Structures are given as structure tokens and as C-alpha cells.
Amino acid sequence: MRTVYVNGEYLPENEAKVSIFDRGFLMADGVYEVTSVLDGKLIDFAGHAKRLERSLNELDMPHPEVLPDLLEVHRELVRLNGIEEGMIYLQITRGAPDDRDFVFPDPETTTPTVVLFTQNKPGLANSPAAKKGIKVISIQDQRWARRDIKTVQLLFPSMGKMMAKAAGVDDAWMVEDGAVTEGTSNNAYIIKGNTIITRHLGNEILHGITRAAVLRFAQEAQMKVEERSFTIAEAQEADEAFITSASTFVMPVVEVDGVAVGAGKPGPVAERLREIYLDESRKVAM
């Protein structure tokens, strides 16, 4: 039985309740963040907190009173649930007005809903998938245009995961105008020679916190980084490929649309980047 956080209270998960009029439930009018926990400490928390604030601002969503204290809330949930390796999910919605309406509720009378819960995942850092790599298919990107905002509008990414499952692979890379945007819940990369290639930042992709850290570590390790679009054909001809996210860290991709990438197994650059990311992130974990 987990202890969760709902609007200022720490509660057993079976006692947690949110109104049926909450706009996150009715309108997907909410934002979220997922922070990894390794060795009982939070990974990249400052980056997640900064992106959360940006998402709120982009949607003109009121800042909840607890916003400055979220670090302590995260730490308390880690303590209460005894999390050594796992995740903390945070969701903020525009709140629960008296009735359903497309118009935003008055922020003076409707306060944001804040929910957090933990997911215990022993062995997160030593995932067997990282040793064998994952396989992906390509699908058309049919999401809304503001993917840089981390909203709870996750229906199409969920459909993409199901398309991948039906195809017998691990995930899907979304394609728009002939170029890869990102994975269903991760940023996408290819490696050619000593160059790491990943899509440039913009409204088309999420500004990944793990992405930013990995690219910084790569440049510090004297690797070349090129931020530009790439195609599925380029990915199939690459030396290596990988994804990054808060839950997978750096995960090698060994097959794209049935074609082996490089040698068809995790390559040395992706493996090294994963090692560097985990080592450096642990040093500054909170």
C-alpha cells in the first residue's frame, strides 16, 4: 500500500480521491513530470522542476502554493515508501470547478490539483533491456502541435506503444514530414562516426531533461553533437541509435522497421553514454 500525495495530504493510495469535475480528467488540462530515484535520491530534479514551471506558464495555469516545496514532497514520498530505485510521478491540473466548461475556471475560486505517487522499480539502473537494446517501428506523428509542453494528453503516444506491441517490438518512433520527431515517451538519436545526431529543439518535441544532460556529457567527452532532423532511412544506415528518458536513461536501439542498426546490438557509444550519465547523475542526485 503506497502513500501518495493529494493536495497537501499524504494518504494511503486507496483513500486518495480527485473530483470528477477535475479538468485533468475531463479536458486533459494538466501537466506532469516523472523523476527517477536512484540510491534513494532524486535524479535531475532541478531540471524537472524548471520544465514543470515552464509548462505551467505556457498553459497560463496558476502555480500551486506547494510549488516551492516540491523537492521536500518528493523526498518525503521516497522516505515514506522506502524507494531505493524507482520513479515519482507528479501531475498538476487546472483544478476542479463546480461544473464542466470549456472556458478556464476563475483561478481565484478554483485552485490547481496536485497529485504525486511513487513507483518502486528495483534494478532500474541495471535494466536487462539496456544490455540487448530495443527494437522500434516508425509511425506517423499525429499529436497536437505543442509537444514541447509536457501535458497529460498522452492518448496518441499510448496508441503508438500499442502499435509497437502489436508489431512485436518495444517502441515506436514518430515521423512528421519525412523526419523523426521522437519516440512515444523519449527522445531519439542516431550515431554516425563520432557524431550524435538528434532533432533540434522546438515545438515539435519535448525538451527532454535527460536529453540535455546526455548531450552535455557527450560534449564534455569530446563527442560531436549535431542537432537536426533525421529520417528513418538515415537511422537504418547509422552506426548506432538510442533513446533517452527519465525512466530509461540511455537505451540502445538495435533495430528500426525490421532493419538492424549497425551490428544489431548495443554499440560502444550508447553504452558509454549510459555509463557516464548514470555515474555523473548519481554524483549530483538530491
- 162-204 confidence digits (pLDDT tens): 999 999 999 999 999 999 999 999 999 999 998 999 999 999 9
Structural domain boundaries, residue 264: 128-284
Question: 155 with 100, same domain?
Answer: no
Q: Where does residue 140 fall: left (phi above 0), alpha (psi -120 to 50 degrees), or beta otherwise?
A: beta
Residue ending a domain, among 66, 98, 120, is: 120
pLDDT > 70 fraction of the chain, expressed in percent and rounded: 100
For 54-93, write each residue's pLDDT tens digit: 999 999 999 999 999 999 999 999 999 999 999 999 999 9
Question: 145 with 98, same domain?
Answer: no
Instruction: Find the CATH number of the domain harbouring 58.
Output: 3.30.470.10
| Cα–Cα dist 31/61, whole Å | 9
150 is catalytic: yes
Residue 173, pLDDT score: 98
User: What are the distances in angstroms from CA 67 to CA 47, 86, 91, 257?
Assistant: 14, 22, 12, 42
Residue ending a domain, among 120, 154, 188, is: 120
Residue 114, pLDDT score: 98
Question: 137 with 192, same domain?
Answer: yes
For 23-33, write each residue's pLDDT tens digit: 999 999 999 99
Question: 137 with 252, same domain?
Answer: yes
Q: How confident is the model at residue 229 (pLDDT cuts 50, 70, 90)?
A: very high
Q: Is 101 helix (H, G, I), strand (E, B) or coil?
A: coil
Residues 220-238, mean pLDDT to the nearest whole number = 96
Question: 167 with 262, same domain?
Answer: yes
For 110-128, write each residue's pLDDT tens digit: 999 999 999 999 999 999 9
Question: 52 with 111, same domain?
Answer: yes
Question: 275 with 133, same domain?
Answer: yes
For 246-258, write each residue's pLDDT tens digit: 999 999 999 999 9
Q: Give the number of domains in the chain.
A: 2
Choice among 50, 150, 192, 265 that is catalytic? 150
Residue 71, pLDDT score: 98
Containing 42, the helix (H) or strand (E) segment is: strand 41-42
Residue ending a domain, among 89, 120, 151, is: 120
Residue 41, pLDDT score: 97
Looking at every residue in the chain, the average pLDDT score rounds to 97
Residue 56, pLDDT score: 98
Instruction: Find the CATH number of the domain harbouring 253.
Output: 3.20.10.10
